[in-house]
Amino acid sequence: MEKDTLTKAKKTKEKEVASLEAQVARLELEKSELEQKIENSRPDLTSEEARYMRDLSYIDKTGRVDSNKIVVKEINDHTNISLWDPLGKRVGPLHPVNVRHTYEKFYKLWSAGKRFRLSPTRPSAEDIEKFKKSDEYKAWKTRHDLDRARKSRTRKKGELERILTSIAQMTGKTVGEINDIRKPGEVVSPGAVNG
């Protein structure tokens, strides 16, 4: 008797579990269906947004509003032009009359070996490299380097060292002996034994 009751209760419970599981399955199916529906009903935002921006861009380009623009133009009755030295240095732009005077002046200076000859056309990188291999450039570079070395001395760099060297030579001592500034901990009083 009891065995039958237990079996009945067990079967009832199993039925209930099965029923609940079926309900869960149905709900899950319903959920996925609803999600799919939402996905299908939502528009393609990427292509719509792109079209929106494209249309606005076309409107901005085609339609013209000048109310926020004030046109300013420069007026000249002549065109200034430049001269170039063989290293690519620009002289100008100058008034054409001044360009002519400058060209003639630098031609005379070049003939006297004082400056580079100027040209109305800009040298290319290859022209500049080619010029740097020329004798004219090498001679100028030698003079230029000597000149800069002379002028750089006026910055007094190394002046102290030069003075110390000449004092050392005159006194027959080394630079270290006449220029031996010690740190505070190294100074010893007269008569003390050096460590």
Partner 1 sequence: MAATTTTTLTEAIPTMVTSALLELEERDVVRPLVTLDTKLLGGPGIVSNTPIIQKLTSEADDSLASQAVDSGTGVDTSPSAATAGVHGSYVQLKDIADLGSVDNMAAVSGQLIGQSIVTRRDLDLVTLFASFSTNQGAANVDITPGDFYDAYGSLRTYFAPLPYEAVFHPGNIWSTVGIISLFDNSSDAVQSAGLGTVGEDFARSGFAGMVLGFRLWADANITVSSNNASGAVFSRQAIKYTPKRYLQFDIERAETEVATNIVGTEIWGEAIMRDSHANEMQFNQQP
Using CB under 8 A as the criterion, which residues of the chain lie in contact with partner 1 when the complex forms? 66-78, 80, 83, 87, 89-95, 97-98, 101-102, 105-106, 109, 114-115, 144, 148, 150-157, 160
Helix (H) or strand (E) holding 126: helix 125-131
Closest approach of partner 1 to the CB of residue 144, in Å? 6
Least separation in angstroms between CB 45 and partner 1: 23
Measured between alpha carbons, how far is 161 from 158 in angstroms, rounded to an integer? 5
- CB nearer to partner 1: give 103 or 168: 103
Other Cβ atoms closer than 10 A to 84: 19
Which CB, 13 or 138, lies closer to partner 1? 138
**What SS3 state is found at 49?**
helix
Q: What is the distance between the alpha carbons of residues 137 and 103, in angstroms, rounded to a whole number?
A: 19
CB of 137 to partner 1, least distance (A): 12
Whose structure tokens read 């040298």?
Answer: 123
Minimum gap (Å) between residue 102 Cβ and partner 1: 4
> Which lies closer to partner 1 via its Cβ, residue 41 or residue 68?
68
* Pick 75 or 193: Cβ nearer partner 1: 75
Of 91, 70, 95, which Cα lies nearest the Cα of 82?
Answer: 91
